[in-house]
């Protein structure tokens, strides 16, 4: 075990890891212009390997793991455990804490946005990037699938229903064009007059319009047919299934949605205020006066630019707004990061180690001259 530890602590590992880290940093940064930040991050920085040309190379996760193992082995097996080296050991430990905090952030952090209108209350956070193919019975989701797993020809049978859904076309980024008259048979409106076309993904992920064309079978002659829907479609297709005599039909909604999750507390927007640069319609500052409610206890708070709200491991930033409708809406970025404190803790540890190292060196020099 000790022999393995000494080998893992050898500096030649760091010697080979650093050039590959520089390479992945350069390639990933340059690729962001063409691929976008999200795709470049996933392909190069958040992957175990990537292919450059036809050569497979270690990705960011592999490299940072090797670096952590090398530093940890050196800390455990090659540290000179003495008072004279105490500062170096403490600073070394601080670097390990920093990398560990980065790993916790990577595997546990989530971000999204919460949109709430003035006078309304919400605790639903929508993901910025993750799309879902969902079937709802009222507000209840009875079937959902990450869009990455949706493929042409996929056939699904939503829970507790007698109809099936067959995906005929799916596109991560869709364009819209007029459907040819000869191809309108069997389609319901608006799919009868418009079709989805595959487009290259936009580097800015929020601009990608994700959609599907699908066929419903087994829902009765009135509901069977071909439909389409896409992300943010204001009126997604609804399938009405007759129930027992005298009861209302059951309505199922088929949609492409951003992945949603619930906050353990709710946000009510009391007022939204914005200031503009003089003589322009460009926002200079905007703020949301909100009420936070948690387990029946409520209190006021203000979120504005550069002044977020932090509560129960969540950070809520004022990121955008919408004042085009009947009432203003605020858009709050919600970040959950269990590793948020690690950079501060590791920085303090490294600083303490460097100060301790300096104090020991100065004291040693004075002692040698005495």
Residues 237, 230 contacting (CB under 8 angstroms):
no
Task: Let me know if domain 111-124+261-336 sits in CATH 1.10.150.120.
Answer: no
What pLDDT, on the 0 to 100 scale, is given for residue 189?
Answer: 85
Pick the closest to residue 123 from 299, 294, 353, 352 (CA basis): 294
Q: What is the pLDDT of residue 370?
A: 57
- pLDDT value of position 37: 80
Rounded Cα–Cα distance for residues 154 and 177 (Å): 24
- For 148, residues 6+ apart whose C-beta sits below 8 A from its C-beta are none
**Tens-of-pLDDT digits for all 370 residues of the chain?**
778 888 888 889 989 999 999 999 999 999 888 877 878 888 999 999 999 888 999 999 999 999 999 999 999 998 888 888 899 999 999 999 999 999 999 888 888 999 999 999 999 999 988 999 999 998 889 999 999 999 999 999 998 888 999 999 999 999 999 999 889 999 998 888 999 999 988 887 878 899 999 999 998 888 999 999 999 888 899 998 877 656 788 899 999 999 989 999 999 999 998 877 777 767 777 889 999 999 989 999 999 888 999 999 899 999 888 877 788 899 999 999 888 889 999 999 999 999 999 998 888 777 666 5
Angstrom distances, CA of residue 306 to CA of 97, 144, 194, 218, 317: 27, 36, 43, 53, 8
SS3 72: helix
221-253 in b/e burial notation, b at 16+ Cβ within 10 A? Answer: eebebbbbbbbeeeebbebebeeeeeeeeeebb
**CB neighbours (10 Å) of residue 192?**
18
From the CB of residue 161, how many other CB atoms can be counted at a distance below 10 Å?
19
Query: 115: phi > 0 → left, psi -120 to 50 → alpha, else beta; which?
Result: beta
Please give the pLDDT value at position 367: 66
* Domain regions of the chain by residue span: 1-67, 79-109+337-370, 111-124+261-336, 128-260
CA dist 320 and 314 (Å) reads 18
pLDDT of 220: 87
Residue 125, both tokens: 């956070």
């Amino acid at each position: 075990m000790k022999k393995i530890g000494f080998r893992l602590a050898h500096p030649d590992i760091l010697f080979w890891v650093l050039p590959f880290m520089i390479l992945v940093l350069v390639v990933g940064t340059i690729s962001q212009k063409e691929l976008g930040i999200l795709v470049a991050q996933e392909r190069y920085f958040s992957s175990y390997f990537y292919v450059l040309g036809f050569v497979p190379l270690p990705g960011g996760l592999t490299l940072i793991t090797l670096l952590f193992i090398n530093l940890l082995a050196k800390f455990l097996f090659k540290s000179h455990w003495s008072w004279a080296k105490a500062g170096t050991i403490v600073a070394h430990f601080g670097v390990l804490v920093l990398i560990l905090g980065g790993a916790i952030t990577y595997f546990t952090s989530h971000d999204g946005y919460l949109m709430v209108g003035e006078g309304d209350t919400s605790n639903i956070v929508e993901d910025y990037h993750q799309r879902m193919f969902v079937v709802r019975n009222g507000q209840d989701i009875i079937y959902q699938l990450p869009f990455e797993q949706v493929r042409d020809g996929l056939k699904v049978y939503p829970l507790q229903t007698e109809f099936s859904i067959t995906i005929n076309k799916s596109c991560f980024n869709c364009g819209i064009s007029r459907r040819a008259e000869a191809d309108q048979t069997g389609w319901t409106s608006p799919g009868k007059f418009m079709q989805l076309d595959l487009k290259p993904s936009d580097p800015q992920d929020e601009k990608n319009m994700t959609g599907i064309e699908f066929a419903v079978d087994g829902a009765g002659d009135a509901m069977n047919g071909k439909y389409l829907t896409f992300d943010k479609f204001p009126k997604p297709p609804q399938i009405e299934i007759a129930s027992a005599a005298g009861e209302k039909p059951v309505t199922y909604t088929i949609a492409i949605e951003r992945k949603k999750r619930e906050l353990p507390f709710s946000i009510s927007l009391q007022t939204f205020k914005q200031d503009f640069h003089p003589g322009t319609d460009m926002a200079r500052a905007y703020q949301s006066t909100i009420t936070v409610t948690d387990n029946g206890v409520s209190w006021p708070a203000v979120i504005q630019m550069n002044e977020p709200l932090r509560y129960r491991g969540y950070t809520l930033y004022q990121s955008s707004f919408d004042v085009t409708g009947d009432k203003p809406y605020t858009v709050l970025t919600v970040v959950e990061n269990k590793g948020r404190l690690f950079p501060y803790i590791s920085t303090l540890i490294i600083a303490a180690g460097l100060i301790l190292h300096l104090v020991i060196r100065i004291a040693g020099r004075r002692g040698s001259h005495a």
